[in-house]
């Protein structure tokens, strides 16, 4: 009969006080050998769990922890939404076990928001064009009956929605309009007509490539409708060029001094500097091509925004902490640590709220949701700051909106830089080297 080790029944009972299987625990610490009196060793902090069980058991435990979130997270979420600033104040004052930590809340909300944005290709903010009724003020009219093309800012829309905001028909009409405007002077010469013919043929070739590369029958049919106007324009230009010599000879009899413009005339060229500092020159054709690329492929403009804006938003939390510390100072209630806690909870709330509004924008036809989102933040910020720092209402409102205004201004400057990067990417492909 084999020997058996004695079991400390009183000590073994301690292992039943947690959810970890007793077979994966020990009465002595796995690391330092000290006696265990809980899940974690009092001497070294090692967890009383060797994790030697099936992968399915570990997976079930992980799933349970992720869905349960522990009970206090629901209490924390309720406080974050309905009692702005309460959790931040109490956590800063030492109530660490009562509330979910601000960094954990911030990371969780960031993962939820930016994970969804990445998976669904949602644009937090993007630029493109849309067809609007002609009664609205719009800088670009293209002859679409009672409608016109206008620049548009998109909020919380999927990339596919933005790309489909303007039909190929409208873009083709606009292309003809802008070509007519920019070629008014060029059409006085044979060289100008030939350049216009070359541009139109290039556009037709690009259109043919789009048609052949499109598998969707509805999209192919829509794009194909733009082919006939281009063919008509090419035919008209060819006839004008063919008749130009006769017309020029007749005009020469009236004035020997009149000469056509030189192809090398650069009076209408625009000299620009790209986002990376390179110098470029845009002629009429370059301007036309860059505008059309931006209309047909708005993702080219929005690519830097999609790539960098979520990262910038994530790292703006420490910036808001520093801004708060500059405007609100108190050795008892407003030290740098207090501002870190408050900024983390504020950003967690704004990210969770933004996630909810992204869903609403994408699944409901409700208009003006971004204004509602902004209004909620405008109310929430001073309420949270008031409960967190305990200052008077006048100072609280003034400080909250002052920090918010600086925060918004910085974000606008960053957004302008990101747009410039997208536009520069387009211009590099069409501009002439200086």
Better-scored residue on pLDDT, 96 or 218: 96
Per mean pLDDT, which range of 178-192, 196-210, 390-404 is the poorest? 178-192
Q: How far apart are CA 324 and CA 318, in angstroms?
A: 10
- What pLDDT shows up at residue 349? 96
One DSSP character per residue, 127-169 reads EEEEEEETTS--S----BTTEEEEEEEEEEEEHHHHHTSS-HH
More confident residue, 255 or 323: 323
Asked if the model's pLDDT at residue 398 lies above 90, the reply is yes
CB atoms near residue 4 (< 10 Å): 6
Query: How far apart, in Å, are the Cα atoms of 21 and each of 8, 15, 17, 70, 199?
Result: 17, 8, 10, 19, 75
| DSSP assignment string, 191-203 | HHHHHHHHHHHHH
Full-prediction pTM beyond 0.75? no
The string of pLDDT tens digits covering residues 136-147 is 444 444 444 444
Q: H/E element holding 236? A: helix 227-254
What's the confidence (pLDDT) of residue 408? Answer: 92
Which pLDDT value is given to residue 237?
A: 76
Which pLDDT score, from 0 to 100, does residue 135 have?
44
Interatomic CA distance for residues 345 and 317, integer angstroms:
10
Q: Are strands 147-158 and 270-273 parallel, antiparallel or unpaired?
A: unpaired
pLDDT at 177: 64
Compute φ and ψ for 59, nearest 5 degrees.
-65, -40
For 218, the token pair is 């509805």
CA distances 356 to 27, 73, 154, 198, 242, Å, are: 47, 18, 17, 50, 63
Q: How much is the pLDDT for 310?
A: 87
- Of 217 and 108, more confident: 108
Q: Tens digit of pLDDT for each residue in 350-397?
A: 999 999 999 999 999 888 899 999 999 999 999 999 999 999 999 999
| Higher local confidence (pLDDT), 199 or 158 | 158
pLDDT of the residue at 347: 94
CA 271-277-283 angle, to 5 degrees, is: 20
pLDDT of residue 393: 94
Using DSSP, state whether 333 is helix, strand or coil: coil
Which residue's structure tokens are 């056509």?
Answer: 260
Range of lowest pLDDT (187-196, 223-232, 338-347, 378-387):
187-196
- The ranges assigned to domains in the chain are 9-54, 71-114+302-424, 186-260
Residue with tokens 């994790």, as numbered in its chain: 51
pLDDT at residue number 166:
64
7-37 per-position pLDDT tens digit: 444 445 556 667 788 888 888 888 898 888 7
Q: How large is the angle between the packed helices 336-363 and 369-389, nearest 10 degrees?
A: 160
Tell me the pairing of strands 270-273 and 279-282.
antiparallel
**Which residue did the predictor score with more confidence, 55 or 110?**
110
Cα-only R_g, the chain: 33
- In tens, the pLDDT along 59-69 reads 776 666 655 55
- Predicted confidence at residue 139, as pLDDT, reads 43
Q: Are 276 and 417 in contact (CB under 8 A)?
A: no
Beta bridge partners of 148: 132
Residue 376: its pLDDT value, please?
96
* Residue 62, pLDDT score: 65
Q: Given this model, what pLDDT does residue 65 score?
A: 60
H-helix or E-strand spanning residue 217:
helix 217-224
* Start-to-end CA span in the chain (Å): 96
Q: What is the mean pLDDT of the chain?
A: 76
Per-residue pLDDT at 243 exceeds 80: no
For residues 355 and 432, the model is more confident at 355
| Pair 134, 147: CB distance under 8 Å | yes
Which residues, other chains included, contact 155 with Cβ-Cβ below 8 Å and sequence gap of 6+? Answer: 124, 125, 361, 370
Using the predicted structure, report yes or no on whether residue 410 has a pLDDT greater than 90. yes
* Positions of E strands within 74-121: none
pLDDT(209) > 90: no
Among residues 60, 50, 41, the alpha carbon closest in space to that of 21 is found at 50
Structure confidence at residue 189 (pLDDT):
65
Per-residue pLDDT averaged across 329-333, rounded?
82
Distance from C-alpha of 276 to C-alpha of 420, rounded to nearest angstrom: 10
Q: In whole angstroms, give the CA distance from residue 95 to residue 89.
A: 9
Contact yes or no for 382/400 (Cβ under 8 A): yes
């Amino acid at each position: 009969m084999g020997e058996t080790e004695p079991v400390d029944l009183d000590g073994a009972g301690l292992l039943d006080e947690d959810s970890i299987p007793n077979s994966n625990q020990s009465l002595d610490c796995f690391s330092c050998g000290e006696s265990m009196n809980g899940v974690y060793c009092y001497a070294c902090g090692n967890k009383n769990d060797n994790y030697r069980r099936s992968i399915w058991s570990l997976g079930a435990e992980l799933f349970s922890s992720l869905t349960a979130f522990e009970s206090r997270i629901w209490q924390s979420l309720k406080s974050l939404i309905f009692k702005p600033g309460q959790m931040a104040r109490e956590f800063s004052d030492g109530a660490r076990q009562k509330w979910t930590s601000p960094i954990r809340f911030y990371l969780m909300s960031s993962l939820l928001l930016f994970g969804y944005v990445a998976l669904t290709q949602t644009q937090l903010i993007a630029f493109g064009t849309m067809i609007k009724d002609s009664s609205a003020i719009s800088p670009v009219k293209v002859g679409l009956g009672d409608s016109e093309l206008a620049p548009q800012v998109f909020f919380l829309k999927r990339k596919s929605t933005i790309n489909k905001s303007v039909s190929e028909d409208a873009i083709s009409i606009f292309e003809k309009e802008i070509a007519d405007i920019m070629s008014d002077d060029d059409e006085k010469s044979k060289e100008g007509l030939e350049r216009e013919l070359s541009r139109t043929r290039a556009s037709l070739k690009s259109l043919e490539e789009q048609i052949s590369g499109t598998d969707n029958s509805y999209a192919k049919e829509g794009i194909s409708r733009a082919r006939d106007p281009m063919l008509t324009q090419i035919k008209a230009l060819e006839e004008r060029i063919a008749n130009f010599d006769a017309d020029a000879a007749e005009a020469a009899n009236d004035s020997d001094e009149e000469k056509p413009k030189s192809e090398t005339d650069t009076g209408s060229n625009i000299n620009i500097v790209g986002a990376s500092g390179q110098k470029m020159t845009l002629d009429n054709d370059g301007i036309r091509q860059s505008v059309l690329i931006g209309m047909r492929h708005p993702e080219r403009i929005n690519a830097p925004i999609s790539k960098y804006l979520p990262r910038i938003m994530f790292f703006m939390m420490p910036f808001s902490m520093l801004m708060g510390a500059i405007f609100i100072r108190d050795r008892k209630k407003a030290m740098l640590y207090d501002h870190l806690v408050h900024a983390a909870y504020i950003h967690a709330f704004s990210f969770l709220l933004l996630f909810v509004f992204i869903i609403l924008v994408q699944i409901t036809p409700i208009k003006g949701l971004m204004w509602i989102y902004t209004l909620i933040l405008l109310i929430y910020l001073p309420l949270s700051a008031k409960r967190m720092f305990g200052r008077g209402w006048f100072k609280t409102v003034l400080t909250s909106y002052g920090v918010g205004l600086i925060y918004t201004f910085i974000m606008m400057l960053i957004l302008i830089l990101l747009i410039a990067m997208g536009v520069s990417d387009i211009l590099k492909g069409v501009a002439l080297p200086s």
